[in-house]
Amino acid sequence: MSKVRFQQWSCFLLFFGMIFLASCGSKEEPPVSGTFQLAEIEINGVVNAASYAEVDPNLHVTLTFSDNVDPNTLQNNITLQPTTAGQAVALTYHTEGNTVAIQSTTPLNQFTAYRLTINTGLKSVSGNPISTGKIYTITTGIDPVDKFPRISDEELLTLVQKQTFNYFWDFGHPVSGMARERTTSGNTVTTGGTGFGVMAMIVAVERGFITKEEALNRIQTIVTFLETRTTRYHGAFAHWIHGETGETLPFSTYDNGADLVETSLLFQGLLTARQYFNSDAAGEIKLREDITRLWEEIDWTWFQKEDEKVLYWHWSPQHEWHQNLKIQGWNESLITYLLAAASPTYPISKEVYDEGWARNGGMRNGASYHGITLPLGPNYGGPMFFAHYSFLGLNPNGLKDQYADYMEQNRNHAMINYSYCVENPQGYSGYSEHCWGLTASDGNQGYSAHSPTNDRGVIAPTAALASMPYMPEESMRALHFFYYKLGDKLWAEHGFVDAFNLSENWFDNQHIAIDQGPIIIMIENYRTGLPWNLFMGIPEIQAGLTKLGFQQRKN
């Protein structure tokens, strides 16, 4: 090899030797800043999602990093807060090498959005800060843990009836015996709600919650108060009454007199009681006579307003017909026309029913919603109480006239309400096949007649539970959800609270008579048909149905 070539080769080896040594030296130096990072996040079994929905409120988070974590930097740099205003959630941290297990010290609120933040102050044991902070959105779902021990469905139905009945028994006014409007109503008692309460007492006797004598005494107190102390208007009663004096309490500015629909709901209950207390005992004879006398004094024809072919809802001595509200279908008021036609003293004609209530067929719907045809009423059926109030005593099974099959009407209405909630077009939290039911109730924005066309995210237990005769499987699923899954929020001394809104994490603390009553009564109609059998056995009711052209299926 020539001298020149040797020198060239030596320089070549020296150059690559220096590169090799430099390379070996770099491996011994500490890692450069920025290599500490989050490798994996797992929340309740779901790995590396951008956000997490329907998370179990009993939160479990596992974070896996590229290096072991300095535990002293965890508390201030891994935090959980509600996305709305609220204090940070208390967390526990358990480190094992490069893994951190995190739990909330108490369950999170259900159906609530939280923000899990990993700040850049988090460091590895070698002192490197995490390269990039992270924020994850977590939305909780239902706490799957049962809040009460499981019992049979029959036991659960009895429990619901018994505890809900306590509202009417405990909140009956001490003077009048009538049902208070709601938990906080004091001296304000409700006419229609009292009718529901009377029917609930009959169920309570048959279920062994109270004795027959106790029910008789309470109902007699109510009837005596109505006859001797309560202001009446051509035989009809006001919506709200002072439970001690019997004076009318205005429901609104011009509504300070008769309310014919509330009067009808009252007498649906009183006539059922007259049918139930049918013995020759002196107390039962007196009750029957007193109820009959009140019933026969209602001048239904007066409310035709100078012989119009329609009934009017309100009248007062001061404002007369100022409200000017015709009772026209379809809504909760079929019972009003039936009782008016059945009256032995002041009956309306079938013409008033056809022209006034049915509007000569104008109350028909016939459209399809969620693939279900609705025979009568507004779009999507309206609030569910349309299918409940008139049918606490009036049995829709096999009941038909020229306008509808009434079991089909009520069942389809309930199915539409249910299907709407399952579809949940507005994306409210909690709506599902287990959680449904839109009707008039309290809400986080105040009282409203909730329905698919007035949906504010508010579910009222009475909507699904009082639909038990129409959709028993769907109603029972809802009952399981309300009691077992939300029972710590909904179940109270006097039954389920009136309503809740999971999107707003709002739960009512009130009970309302006209929502509690249908739960008890319609569950009993599902179980034994007792209220239906009593009411449909009243001779005047049978005469009224015949007069209006109803056909009935005979058992």
Q: DSSP letters of 142-176?
A: ---S-SS----HHHHHHHHHHHHHHHHHHSB-TTT
Using CA atoms, how far apart are residues 430 and 433, in angstroms rounded to an integer?
10
Using CA atoms, how far apart are residues 497 and 262, in angstroms rounded to an integer?
23
Q: Which domains does the chain have, with CATH numbers?
A: 38-140 (2.60.40.1220), 153-547 (1.50.10.140)
- Paired with 241 in beta bridges are 189, 248
Task: Determine the distance from the C-alpha atom of residue 445 to the mean position of all C-alpha atoms in its chain, rounded to a whole number.
Answer: 15
pLDDT, position 31: 40
Using CA atoms, how far apart are residues 22 and 6, in angstroms rounded to an integer?
24
**Do 460 and 498 contact (CB within 8 A), yes or no?**
yes
DSSP label at residue 271: H
Using CA atoms, how far apart are residues 260 and 339, in angstroms rounded to an integer?
11
Closest CA to 100 of 81, 123, 83: 123
- Paired with 80 in beta bridges are 116
Q: Long-range contact list for 362-367, CB < 8 A, 24+ apart?
A: 363/328, 363/329, 363/330, 363/403, 364/403, 364/404, 365/330
Q: DSSP letters of 352-408?
A: HIIIIISGGGTTB---EETTEE--BSSGGG-SGGGGTGGGTTS--TT-B-SS-BHHH
pLDDT, position 87: 86
In 289-305, which positions are buried (b, 16+ CB within 10 angstroms) versus exposed (e)?
ebbeebbeebbbbbbbe
The identity of residue 169, as a single letter, is: W
Strands 506-507 and 500-501: what pairing?
antiparallel
| C-alpha triplet 274, 350, 305: angle, nearest 5° | 85
Closest CA to 344 of 541, 507, 531: 541
Using CA atoms, how far apart are residues 273 and 215, in angstroms rounded to an integer?
10
Q: What is the signed CA dihedral for 111, 115, 116, 118, rounded to 10 degrees?
A: 180
**Do 327 and 281 contact (CB within 8 A), yes or no?**
no
> Residues 6 or more apart from 373 whose CB is under 8 A from it?
366, 367, 412
Q: Identify the H or E element spanning 38.
A: strand 38-43
Structure tokens at 487: 């029972």
3-class secondary-structure state, position 100: strand
- What is the Cβ-side half-sphere exposure of residue 189, based on CA atoms within 13 angstroms? 30
Mapping DSSP onto H, E and C, the string for 231-244 reads: CCECCECCCEEECC
117 burial level (CB within 10 Å; 0-12, 13-18, 19+): middle
Using CA atoms, how far apart are residues 301 and 299, in angstroms rounded to an integer?
5
- Using CA atoms, how far residue 29 sits from 16, 22, 131, 235, 402, in Å, is 21, 11, 19, 99, 93
pLDDT, position 26: 33
Using CA atoms, how far apart are residues 340 and 361, in angstroms rounded to an integer?
20
Closest CA to 170 of 531, 513, 530: 513
Backbone angles phi, psi at 132, to 5 degrees: -140, 130
Using CA atoms, how far apart are residues 129 and 34, in angstroms rounded to an integer?
7
Residue 76: CB atoms within 10 Å = 10
pLDDT, position 15: 38
Structure tokens at 172: 């009956």
Closest CA to 203 of 527, 554, 536, 426: 527
Using CA atoms, how far apart are residues 296 and 346, in angstroms rounded to an integer?
8
Mean pLDDT by groups of 10 residues along the chain of 555 residues: 42 37 36 74 91 91 96 95 87 95 92 93 94 93 93 98 98 97 97 98 98 98 98 98 98 97 98 98 98 98 97 97 98 98 98 98 98 98 98 98 98 98 96 98 98 98 98 98 97 98 94 98 98 98 98 81
Strands 134-140 and 51-55: what pairing?
parallel
Task: Determine the distance from the C-alpha atom of residue 514 to the mean position of all C-alpha atoms in its chain, rounded to a whole number.
Answer: 13
Using CA atoms, how far apart are residues 522 and 512, in angstroms rounded to an integer?
16
DSSP label at residue 454: B
